[in-house]
């Protein structure tokens, strides 16, 4: 079992954590927001006074007062914003160790959302590096991103604001990005332009993941690789409930019918409290050889050292003999 610990990222730090909250730096701003895994004490209370914005889970956001009850249930909270000017930019650059130059660069707009997220999950960067290397191994990345030769066809389900999509495209993939949230897909397209990847072969799809994959199966579309980042629980604009334990196995079964016979990789993440990495591995093992699947936990180290914050679990498949 693996422990993927986030390596140094210029625009991100976990400064401190404790008493149900984490203190993070995203670019030029310091953010305080809740995390259910943080059951220990803060190490340096004075650092928290430097927060530019604090998420208050007990304070209602007036801007959401006209939404439906189902929407309010998952978005009726508030940021105490002291000095953050939105949006601001998060940079992630992959450095080529041989040339010491940037080989892949992704830029993302960040915003304070009513759901405590800001537009990027830094812990996922280690998995980005993993699938990026696999994509690059397929063929030389062309400077003309309109050329589709030697580009793996990647399906990214629950793609959110496009970090994984853009990184995969920058490494040389053709990507189909699917998310049921139109605002999230619009945000992702803004990130595409910000990253200078306007010519990258990306299809942006606003749709339910299960329904979209079912249609792809009927059309006979095949993918070389899949990224899945499903929520533990969700509700779409029409009120339909998404439950990890019910919907993810059904989606995996559908996706298995849209995979090429020798997939390049398959990555699935889980933020559901209580599921071990082995559970996710066994689920993925229903559609791919179990012996070629590894699993583990994503962690972020505190800047002060000594403590790591668990940030979810994952399982990932790759065929080393492809």
pLDDT digits (tens, 9 = 90+) for 312-321: 999 999 986 4
Supply the pLDDT for residue 232.
77
Contacts of residue 52, Cβ cutoff 8 Å, sequence gap at least 6: 29, 30, 31, 81, 82, 83, 84
Per the prediction, the chain carries an average pLDDT of 88
**Number of neighbouring beta carbons within 10 Å of residue 3:** 11
Question: What residues form DSSP beta bridges with 177?
Answer: 156, 204
Q: Give, rounded to a whole angstrom, the gap between the first and last alpha carbons of the chain.
A: 23
pTM: 0.89
Q: Which domain holds residue 191?
A: 2-318
pLDDT digits (tens, 9 = 90+) for 159-212: 999 999 999 999 999 999 999 999 999 999 999 999 999 999 999 999 999 999
Alpha-carbon distances of 286 from 7, 156, 175, 254, 318, rounded to whole Å: 32, 19, 24, 12, 15
Supply the pLDDT for residue 78.
87
Alpha-carbon distances of 122 from 14, 294, 298, rounded to whole Å: 10, 20, 10
Count of domains in the chain?
1
Instruction: Identify whether 311 is preceded by a cis peptide bond (ω within 30 of 0).
Output: no
> Confidence class of residue 271 from pLDDT cuts 50, 70 and 90?
confident
Supply the pLDDT for residue 97.
59
Supply the pLDDT for residue 61.
56
Supply the pLDDT for residue 245.
87
Query: Which CATH number does the domain housing residue 194 bear?
Result: 3.40.50.150
Supply the pLDDT for residue 143.
40
């Amino acid at each position: 079992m693996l422990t993927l610990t986030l390596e140094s990222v210029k625009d991100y730090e976990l400064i401190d954590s404790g008493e149900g909250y984490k203190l993070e730096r995203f670019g030029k701003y310091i953010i305080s927001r809740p995390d259910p895994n943080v059951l220990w004490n803060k190490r340096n209370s004075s650092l928290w006074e430097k927060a530019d914005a604090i998420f208050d889970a007990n304070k209602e956001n007036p801007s959401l007062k006209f939404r439906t009850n189902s929407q309010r249930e998952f978005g009726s909270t508030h940021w105490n914003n002291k000095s953050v000017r939105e949006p601001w930019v998060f940079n992630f650059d992959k450095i080529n160790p041989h040339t010491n130059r940037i080989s892949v660069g992704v830029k993302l707009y960040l915003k304070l959302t009513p759901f405590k997220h800001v537009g990027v999950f830094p812990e996922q960067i280690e998995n980005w590096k993993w699938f990026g290397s696999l994509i690059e191994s397929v063929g030389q990345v062309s400077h003309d991103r309109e050329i589709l030769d030697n580009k793996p066809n990647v399906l990214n389900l629950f793609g959110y604001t496009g970090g994984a999509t853009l990184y995969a495209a920058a490494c040389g993939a053709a990507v189909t990005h699917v998310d049921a949230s139109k605002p999230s897909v619009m945000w992702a397209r803004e990130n595409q332009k910000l990253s200078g990847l306007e010519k990258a072969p990306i299809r942006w799809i606003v749709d339910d993941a299960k329904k979209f994959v079912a249609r792809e199966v009927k059309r006979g579309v095949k993918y070389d690789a899949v990224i899945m980042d499903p929520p533990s629980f969700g509700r779409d604009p029409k009120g339909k409930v998404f439950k990890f334990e019910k919907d993810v196995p059904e989606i995996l079964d559908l996706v298995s019918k849209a995979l090429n016979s020798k997939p390049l990789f398959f990555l699935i993440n889980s933020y559901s409290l209580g599921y071990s990495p082995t559970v996710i591995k066994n689920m993925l093992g229903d559609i791919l050889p179990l012996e070629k699947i590894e699993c583990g936990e994503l962690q972020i180290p505190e800047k002060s050292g000594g403590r790591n914050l668990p940030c979810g679990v994952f399982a990932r498949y790759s065929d080393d003999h492809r």
